[in-house]
Structure 1
Amino acid sequence: LRQARDRLQIELDQRQRREGEIRRLNQELTLRASELAAANKELESFTYSVSHDLRAPLRHLVGFSELLRKHASSSLDEKGQKYVETIFDAGKRMGSLIDDLLTFSRIGRTESRMATVDLQGLITEAIAEVKQQTNGRDIHWEVGAFPACHGDRSLLKLVMLNLLSNAVKFSSLRKPARIEVGALEGSATSVEIYVKDNGVGFDMEYAGKLFGVFQRLHRTDEFEGTGIGLATVQRIAQRHGGSVRAEGAVDRGATFYVSLPREK
């Protein structure tokens, strides 16, 4: 009887130690989560402030370089004109970068307006907007049927504009370019949208870099861009409880997938 009691006491002590350890670990986890949330909020605020404060001097840089191009180019030699052109182009690119960075930072700061979203209508609108910027290129569009989903319509439209614009950009060397937009079944609670192109593609070895901020797999002199679009797509998908993934091969096109919650 004494041995049984001693064993029970040992088991009780061990259980209490384990429960104490679990409580300690939970407290540490809660603290780390709070610290991470605070750090993310501080980083978003810093990003927004820096981007916003950069706009004023940048407007002056671009504005005065444009005035030089228009009114003083005749008094500059060829080298001077090239310098002014370089300043102007770099300023415009920096402006695009700041705009994209502000958009990215706002995603974490803006409250989502969740509702049922007609994906068919949203994607039709997004394609129409992107087509206006294709300058009459020979692009074959294949558009499937889409179910309704649950999300913030303005954010989801931004997702589609980014993915469609990427498909148009990276298929610019193809004649004709082919862009397919469709939906997969996903699961009982989610739907997966994809955008597929026959463009330059990418090496799957570097697929993990695609959705990082400022990450680019192609040089800017090959394809314009700031390297923030796909990071924005991922952030919006995650805010909806979804995910993103990509498949591709060099010179064989790419397909980007976004999973979203189904209509509730």
Structure 2
Amino acid sequence: MTGSEVSPSFRLAYVPGVTPTKWVRIWNERLPGIPLSLVAVPAAEATELLRGGGADAGFVRLPVDGTDLSAIPLYTEQTVVVIPKDHVAAAVDGLSLAELADEIVLHPLDDTLGWEQLPGKPAVERPATTADAVELVAAGVGVLVVPQSLARLHHRKDLTYRPLSDAPESRIALSWPEDRTTDQVEDFIGIVRGRTVNSSRGRGATPAEQPKSKAKRAEDGGTRRKPAARASAGKNPRGGSGGAKGVKGGARGAKGASAAKRGKPRRRP
């Protein structure tokens, strides 16, 4: 699909926890004629939304299954454990997985961490969503392990969170269908990667005009060398008063050479 075939708008999907405000602002500054619309989507449904054409690109959580979607990893999130403010662990700066061994650790159906082995004790049943799990933490049923952005998204005054070491981490990526890498997708990739508006890889960037002298030298095959300075007759090439001395010294040298050639006069018999 070429750039001329796409709609004059750009649809950007994003999963819970991602805040695309900064990139949207830059888009609006650089491309005010192309409106950008945001599409909120659950993490588990983001890739299918992109495949189905529901968005041109999106911020998703890795891994991205299949080879039909391109993905640029952006950052890795800190994993935290959400606990009540009066929990004993609220008094420490951080926790390890081993310290959750006696805790009921809630595992919602929309979990994004991809555990190989769940920590702590399992709950009687899995909450349907992360939001439901947060409500259970507030009710004192258990604790919840999530990426930090989700802990902030579902913040409550009666809850807090602490960093959790040696736990799986969640990575955020920008993804889009590989066969629909349009000009607008390329524009957004440039914004996310921090390219300037005049970047050589940015679409529509006009390269700076070369100075005429540099352009001329490029046509001639490279930089020209300056011609060596020529010495004028009777002057020292180095300039200054050394020129007169050089002429005088040269005359003496010539006279001495002539005398050496003639040699001593012969005596008459």
**TM-score between the two structures when normalised by the length of structure 2:** 0.19
Structure number with bigger Rg: 2
